[in-house]
Structure 1
Amino acid sequence: MHSLVPPARARLEKILAQLDSRRDDERVFVKVYADAARRDADAADRRAAAGASLGPLDGRVVSIKDLIDIAGEPTLAGSIIRRTASPVTADAVVVERLRKAGAIIVGKTVMTEFAFTAVGLNPHYPVAGNAFDRQRVAGGSSTGAGISVAEGTSEIAIGSDTGGSIRIPAALNGVVGFKPTARRVPLQGAFPLSPSLDSLGPLARSVSDCAIADAVMADESPVAPEPMPLRGLRIGTPRGQLFNSTEKAIAEAFERSLAKCEAAGAVITDCAIDDLINAMAEATSVGSIAGIEGSRIHADWLHEETLDVDQRVRWPLLRRLSVTEADYIGLMQRRRLLVEAMDQRIGAYDFFAVPTCPIAAPPIEAVETNDAYYKEVEGLLLRNTQVANQFDLTSISMPMPEMTLPGGLMLIARHGADRRLLAMALSVEQLLSKAV
């Protein structure tokens, strides 16, 4: 019986031809492993012909973010100052697991420097424009991951998410992005930003592909869960500051999506979490967790003023170097109490639903030329997504239908409820895909 899916080599060659056609102006990939990918694709096709498939990821074309180790080369993490770093001796754990499952690693995708910013600009590389409109930002820090999936130069992309870095580019480029519970997927071999908040997760065109890639990376059975019926599911909508300054098109698409869930039998309830968000903002007034932890990771070079580093990365990290260990410990103790309080709050629901980002992708020129506007955009892009990281939750963004520029619907669930969230997201995706 012939598969409806073209062989891995044929799908790969189509991608490589697309990349080759723009090789003089490549903005999405910083490295392409054409020869190794061809060998892996041929091996996948031989297994398929012999009826010896390694599972649903076998022969799928996967890109990885530029902070994930590939043996034999330095890991740049979006920074040119790391070009002189020693080559790593082993693949990252997630790459080992992806290869073992038959995935074809096609290349490394561009990211913002050290994964610290969310708009999608990296001064060391030409700006990679949004897949829907090259004049607009693609979001960060997993910038190339979102574009590569949306434009078809990878079938699945692996990114990292510390405050929204998977879900922001997913929302702005119209694809699915999944942030697992922190520490569920091993971080060994991924250049850190904030060990307390970092997660590695997939972006793809479907929830099912994200679920399969996530399972492989978490060393679980590589299958998508069964969709969980929406009837009777309790959806909490934390109206309040997470809905402020939301663009009209995104607000309307969100309400349409929510209404479809309600029509399918879900129980929608407005709820309040502003008190917890405000308490977390107060706790982090000494400095963000990512900023403080990142400043320790980068302490050895932050005082070197002559280094060619994005100043939007260097200055916030340099400021956080002065936060004392006592203040940091106090912040993390306060965070633990707030995480417990949020767990109780979200425990009354199957998931929270909010817009992933309150705005669609703004024009690149507008954020490049106006620093105040850049800061405003970055704050808005991170505002909703960072809640899941700060409160140690799991979260997924999926595209909302009937939009001119892409916007994301974000579902947030309890710590450790990853597979259950994916099962519910599969049903929401099916429902939204019926929209004309």
Structure 2
Amino acid sequence: MSAARPTLVSLADDLASGRTTSRKLVEECLTRIADPDGEGQRTFIHVDKDAALAAADAMDGLRKANAAPSRFAGIPVSVKDLFDIKGQVTRAGSRALEDSAPADADAPVVARLRRAGFVVIGRTNMTEFAYSGIGINPHYGTPKSAWKREVGHVPGGSSSGAAVSIADRMAYGALGTDTGGSCRIPAAFNGIVGYKPTQRRVPLDGGVPLSTTLDSFGPLANTVECCAILDAVLADEPIKPLQPRAVKGLRLAVPTTVVLDQLDAEVAQTFDRALETLSKLGALVERIEFPEFLDVGIIGMKGGFAAAESYAWHRFLITSKGDVYDPRVSVRIMRGEAITVPEYIEMLAGRRSLVARAAARIAPYDALVMPTTANAPPRIADLANDEAFGRENIRALRNCTMINMMDGCAISLPAHPAGEVPVGLMLAQSGGQDRKLFEIAAGIEGVIRG
């Protein structure tokens, strides 16, 4: 990792040696956020300047007293606007919640980050109520992807600001959510790493839900190891050194069902190049049919769990304040109104079967490998038309959604050489295989970018 993209480990070493301080790190991030020529005003909905500086000073003091809560204490992180932070209003990227009461407690995941000494620098922008994989927000603006910023490409959603905050060094770790790819898609579109954990490992309290069945809370950061560190904190597990697995001998399955259909040329080229590299290094890459992925479309035919469960949460709010919702969000929520109780129960049964069958199919392999998204980051200007937006949104979400539906864990790694169109390579496993997946990803991370 170049000096332009410091890691949590390198920052921790700098803090321990006295080469930097938490106050300096926070001040540098605040300066980038405030840069009028940058994306800070669209990346953050709220910046905790005074609180972040006070926390930084406190961490510096604790480190001098040899009492820092962890070696990462004092490193600034961003938090998606979906999470409760004590004393702040949780808007979820919407105007409909602006008059809500401030949260009376941190969400457990926010509390765990603070307990480890991370400094929360602010709340990041997002797709309203997390309901899109594109990242456009008509209320608070849309931060541009780090790719060819002068052109203006979408950042990916729904954790749009989270990814841009990392890409632009406004924070060094970001807390996001992932219901159908919302940590992985923006990571892919911005050339960073995004992780979707096994859902049951990280508590969902204190976050505005999209789909209680599919929601996961996960990190975005510069490297696999950075994400592994943050994931351990979020799951309240010990932080252990990450031992990369050798590529040679890995059994990697490439599903040929659905996820390779209609790829953008740049995505297909980069993906094939990565597979060729892995094969040359001794990985056993096998293309397999994965019929369970066909079931995902059937289960979600009427909008799926996201429509049904978001409508249950929004049904009163959208009745009173539907006029201030993004129409592209409200129309998707309202699909849930037509889903009946028997249909919802059938969806639950269908998913239980899918999870079991998918786990059996993936069992002989170390990981599934697929493109994170079918599309490269579309231009913001090209999505003014609702039809174009809908098409690209589905293409962004399609592959990632498969893993949420199979209750798995997954990570998106940048697979493109520097300067080329950003393309994510996704590695996935069934639920509970998170540590194994991190080790495999750490071994692959350094070799696939050419």
Q: Which residue, 127, 143, 149 being the options, matches 1:112?
A: 127
Partner residue of 1:156 out of 141, 154, 173: 173
Counterpart for residue 165 of structure 1: 182
Mapped contact 1:55–1:222 kept (Cα < 8 A): no
Between the aligned partners of 1:151 and 1:355, the Cα distance in structure 2 is 24
Q: Where do 1:31-46 residues align within 5 Å?
A: 31-46=46-61
Which amino acid is the alignment partner of residue 89 of structure 2?
P
Q: Does 1:427 align with 2:440?
A: no
SS of the residue corresponding to residue 189 of structure 1 reads coil
Instruction: Indicate conservation of the 8 Å contact 1:283/1:334, yes or no.
Output: yes
CA contact (8 A) 1:27 1:128 kept: yes
* Selected match of 1:307 from 323, 329, 339: 323
CA contact (8 A) 1:351 1:411 kept: yes
Question: Cα deviations across residues 237-264 of structure 1 (Å, max 9, x unaligned)?
Answer: 0123211121222212112212222222
Partner SS for 1:190: coil
Cα distance in 2 for residues equivalent to 1:210 and 1:5 = 24
Residue of structure 2 equivalent to 1:381: 396
Q: Which residue of 1 aligns with 2:22?
A: 8
- Give the structure 2 partner of residue 145 of structure 1: 162
1:422 and 1:181 mapped to 2: Cα distance?
Answer: 12
Tell whether 2:197 aligns with 1:199.
Answer: no
The farther-off stretch of 311-320 and 277-286 is 277-286
Partners of 1:115 and 1:142 within 8 A in 2: yes
Q: Please state how far the C-alpha of 1:266 moved relative to its aligned partner.
A: 1.4
> Which of residues 306, 311, 333 is equivalent to 1:295?
311
Q: Distance in 2 between the 1:377 and 1:165 partners? A: 14
Residue of structure 1 equivalent to 2:429: 413
1:69-113 Cα distance to aligned partner (Å, 9 max, x none): 001122111111101111110000011110010101000000011
1:97 corresponds in structure 2 to 112
Classify 1:263/1:54 alpha carbon distance in 2 versus 1 (closer, same or farther; 3 Å).
farther
Kindly state the Cα deviation for residue 182 of structure 1 after the two structures are TM-superposed: 1.0
The answer as to whether partners of 1:250 and 1:355 remain within 8 angstroms in 2 is yes
Letter in 1 for 2:24: A
* Change beyond 3 A, Cα 1:306–1:107: closer
Query: Match of 1:11, SS?
Result: helix
* Aligned counterpart, 1:228: 245
Q: Which runs of 5+ in 2 are unaligned?
A: 1-13
Amino acid aligned to 1:122: N
User: Which of 13-22 and 409-418 deviates more?
Assistant: 13-22
Alpha-carbon distance between aligned partners in 2 of 1:235 and 1:17, rounded to the nearest angstrom: 43
Summarize the alignment of residues 15-414 of structure 1 with structure 2, pairs less than 5 Å apart. Answer: 15-22=29-36, 26-134=41-149, 135-273=152-290, 275-304=291-320, 307-368=323-384, 370-402=385-417, 404-414=420-430
Unpaired runs of 5+ in structure 1? Answer: none
SS at match of 2:324: coil
Q: Distance in 2 between matches of 1:206 and 1:332?
A: 35
Counterpart code for 1:418? D
Asked whether the 8 Å contact 1:56–1:212 carries over to 2, the reply is no
- State the shift of 1:387 in Å: 0.5
Contact 1:66 1:75 in 2 (8 A): yes
Question: How far did 1:57 drift?
Answer: 2.6
Q: Secondary structure at the match of 1:26?
A: helix
SS of the aligned residue for 1:107 comes to: strand
Tell me, in whole angstroms, the C-alpha distance in 1 between the residues paired with 2:423 and 2:257: 19
Deviations 1:27-66 (A, max 9, x none): 1000111111112212222333333333243121100000
> In the alignment, is the contact (CA less than 8 A) between 2:138 and 2:326 conserved in 1?
yes
Query: In the superposition, relative to structure 1, how do residues 366 and 10 fare at CA in structure 2: closer, same or farther (>3 Å)?
Result: same
Tell me: CA distance 1:5–1:404, structure 2 relative to 1, closer, same or farther (3 Å): farther
Find the residue that maps to 2:195 and give its secondary structure.
strand
Which residue number in structure 1 is paired with residue 8 of structure 2? Answer: none
Cα-Cα RMSD = 1.8
Deviation at 1:282, TM superposition (A): 1.7
Aligned residue identity for 2:327: Q
TM superposition shift of 1:145: 0.5
2:33 and 2:40 in contact (8 A); partners too: no
Q: Distance in 1 between matches of 2:428 and 2:325?
A: 34
